[in-house]
Structure 1
Amino acid sequence: MNTPRPTSPTRRAQLLAAGAATVTVVLWASAFVSIRSAGAAYSPGALALGRLLAGAVALGAVCLIRREGWPPRAAWRGIAISGLLWFGFYMVVLNWGEQQVDAGTAALVVNTGPILIALLGSRLLGDAMPPRLLAGMAVSFAGAVAVGLSMSGDGGSSVLGVVLCLLAAVGYAAGVVAQKPALGRASALQVTTFGCLVGAVACLPFAGQLVQDAADAPVSATLNMLYLGVFPTALAFTTWAYALARTTASRMGATTYAVPALVVLMSWLFLDEVPGLLTLAGGVLCLAGVAVSRSRPRAGTGSGNGKAAAPVRTPEPQPEPEPEQA
């Protein structure tokens, strides 16, 4: 008897999650281009606060339209931690760190984040660490190192800048791992909206700087700050949460290794920064590693149950078949 297998809804859910992750990495890559413009006119804290306020307004409007309501009490711990560490601390420290080191060093240090996510996810969330995921992350990190080295210029680096970028990576990783359990209790939109609000409240001490910088900033820098809030923050963090709710933190962290490759491409297209061979090779390695980490073993190769059941020796001529295992 041929029982229909429920592959269609599962496949559709996988495609939606993959599409959401793709939207996230593309928008996060575009953020690096916008930060270059806005960061020249806004101080690190003011830029983070302006970006979070714009994101909170956009997300709040969507929540009101959809009548999402408040998240359940059980989700607030993860929302508060991710809001403080990822939306607030990460954005301020990263903006500050990128003013102290060249772009290549910043990219190299911050890209330790996915590795930290995998380690924390394995320890705190019980995420599996399959060989394909580890191999893919190793390939992608090698690509990120190549991109970082090729982008390192004469801007120089300071110990403070490296420490700040490393703290940003730690805040990013801890925020992602804290967010994952909250997504089991609240919707992706709720977790993102209230996490963004928590981050904005944490950055309110920079309100005076934001007002002062906005008065002197060119229109292009302010528009880039608003773009950062609406698209790489409001939209991209929501699609991230949607995808994270449907996979492990480790696998989602590995997916973000596509960002350096896309940054290279966007810098080439929009800033006329022609990449060298080492940069291109690093970008290809990043994408190849993501493909490996997201791939799944072929059916029948990941389990030994079928092989173990075959050599059963029984005196009966017609052994009763064992029930099929999922």
Structure 2
Amino acid sequence: MTNPFSRAVPRPEVLAILAAAVTVVLWASAFVSIRSAGEAYSPGALALGRLLSGTVVIGLIWALRREGLPPRAAWPGIAVAGVLWFGLYMVALNWGEQLVDAGTAALVVNVGPLLMALLGGWLLKEGLPRRLLAGMAVSFAGAAIVGLSMSGGGDASLLGVALCLVAALAYASGVVAQKPALRYASPLQVTTFGCAIGAAVCLPFAGQLLDEAAHAPLPATLNMVYLGVFPTALAFTTWAYALARTTAGKMGATTYAVPAIVVLMSWLALDEVPGWLTLLGGVFCLAGVAVSRSRPRRSRDTATTTAPEADAVSAEQPARPAP
């Protein structure tokens, strides 16, 4: 007997959703580690240490799997993503969050997914579905509420705001550049060499890293290594896997679940009880993600289409390129 759910939710789509979920959870966990490591490491040194750790781990996995070098057609996207997302984004974000309060950082950095949807719609011809835009608007409002409610009331410098904006632009541009590369190379190849290029971009901070590592407490260094292994090597790979199977806009909208998960993790791991405003913001974030990734309801005529007819219709649609 045929499973009635197998036709409605294909297995590759389920795997892509699970990969996106792993990414979101690990990126949310990174906030706690960045806060700890950032007390002992400067922004550039922290970014370089994180990228070097990630490159070593994912490089070993790439070597063991013997996937080889990415095809020539994939290198432009890998290079741009490596410079902008792995390199510039991490340095700018680490630096910016030292100069602005959490509320300002949340408002500015969370412009990134909106820019990603706009750039994806324009450059990648993904379009701008109404549900995507509506969901992102709801999630952005939720992220702003979470950030403002958890803000310590710090001062926002113009340099800090500018750095957070640079991080948002680098993030969005890097993802849009990465998407075409995944048509030719595997997620592991794209992540491995993107991470290595990002580490190379951050090599000017090598002197700071060596000096600070000699005096940093062990927990800070371990948190830096954790950032490289899990939120970078693993999470960026699962991100690339999911991105290859959906649009840049939808993946950007999915990251709006991060603030809500950060609130939950802080509650469970750090015993930081969130206020009602913070919880409300988290609900908005998750609701927006649900709306942005939802599908329009089928019309009555479509719903009554027989299975063979449905297969014929789907066969006419162009297949999404996979790595």
Cα offset, 1:239, TM superposition: 0.1
**Do residues 156 (structure 1) and 155 (structure 2) align?**
yes
- Name the residue aligned to 1:102: 101
- Name the residue aligned to 1:67: 66
TM-score, normalised to structure 1, is 0.90
Given the superposition, is the C-alpha separation of residues 74 and 270 from structure 1 closer, same or farther in structure 2, using an over 3 Å criterion?
A: same
- Name the residue aligned to 1:43: 42
The letter of the residue matching 2:116 is I
CA distance in 1, matches of 2:224, 2:126: 35
Deviates more, 1:126-135 or 1:64-73: 126-135
Cα offset, 1:128, TM superposition: 2.2
CA distance in 2, matches of 1:195, 1:162: 26
Given the superposition, is the C-alpha separation of residues 6 and 269 from structure 1 closer, same or farther in structure 2, using an over 3 Å criterion?
A: closer
Structure 2: runs of 5+ lacking an equivalent: 315-323
Cα offset, 1:6, TM superposition: 11
- Name the residue aligned to 2:24: 25
Flag the structure with larger Rg: 1
The letter of the residue matching 2:150 is M
CA distance in 2, matches of 1:6, 1:187: 28
Cα offset, 1:4, TM superposition: 11
Paired residues for 1:1-326 under 5 Å: 7=6, 11-300=10-299, 325-326=313-314
Give CA deviations for 1:185-207 in whole Å, capped at 9, x if unaligned. Answer: 00000000000000000000000
Given the superposition, is the C-alpha separation of residues 240 and 301 from structure 1 closer, same or farther in structure 2, using an over 3 Å criterion?
A: farther
Deviates more, 1:260-269 or 1:47-56: 260-269
Cα offset, 1:247, TM superposition: 0.2
Q: RMSD between aligned alpha carbons?
A: 2.2
User: What fraction of aligned residue pairs are identical, expressed as a percent?
Assistant: 72
Aligned pairs, how many?
A: 308
CA distance in 2, matches of 1:205, 1:114: 29
The letter of the residue matching 2:26 is L
- Name the residue aligned to 1:317: none
The letter of the residue matching 1:82 is A
Cα offset, 1:325, TM superposition: 4.0
Tell me, yes or no, if the aligned pair for 2:45 and 2:209 is still in contact at 8 Å.
yes
Tell me, yes or no, if the aligned pair for 2:48 and 2:209 is still in contact at 8 Å.
yes
Give CA deviations for 1:61-110 in whole Å, capped at 9, x if unaligned. Answer: 00011001100010000000000000000000000001001122112211
TM-score, normalised to structure 2, is 0.91
CA distance in 1, matches of 2:78, 2:179: 9
Find runs of 4+ consecutive structure 1 residues off by over 2 angstroms: 3-10, 298-303, 323-326
Q: Secondary structure at the match of 1:192?
A: helix
The letter of the residue matching 2:29 is S
Q: Secondary structure at the match of 2:145?
A: helix
Given the superposition, is the C-alpha separation of residues 150 and 69 from structure 1 closer, same or farther in structure 2, using an over 3 Å criterion?
A: same
Given the superposition, is the C-alpha separation of residues 61 and 325 from structure 1 closer, same or farther in structure 2, using an over 3 Å criterion?
A: closer
CA distance in 2, matches of 1:302, 1:185: 38
Structure 1: runs of 5+ lacking an equivalent: 307-320
CA distance in 2, matches of 1:134, 1:190: 31
CA distance in 1, matches of 2:228, 2:199: 11
Q: Secondary structure at the match of 2:10?
A: helix
Tell me, yes or no, if the aligned pair for 2:54 and 2:228 is still in contact at 8 Å.
yes
Cα offset, 1:275, TM superposition: 1.1
Give CA deviations for 1:244-268 in whole Å, capped at 9, x if unaligned. Answer: 0000000000000000101111112
Given the superposition, is the C-alpha separation of residues 301 and 123 from structure 1 closer, same or farther in structure 2, using an over 3 Å criterion?
A: farther
Given the superposition, is the C-alpha separation of residues 208 and 107 from structure 1 closer, same or farther in structure 2, using an over 3 Å criterion?
A: same
CA distance in 2, matches of 1:72, 1:5: 39
CA distance in 2, matches of 1:6, 1:184: 28
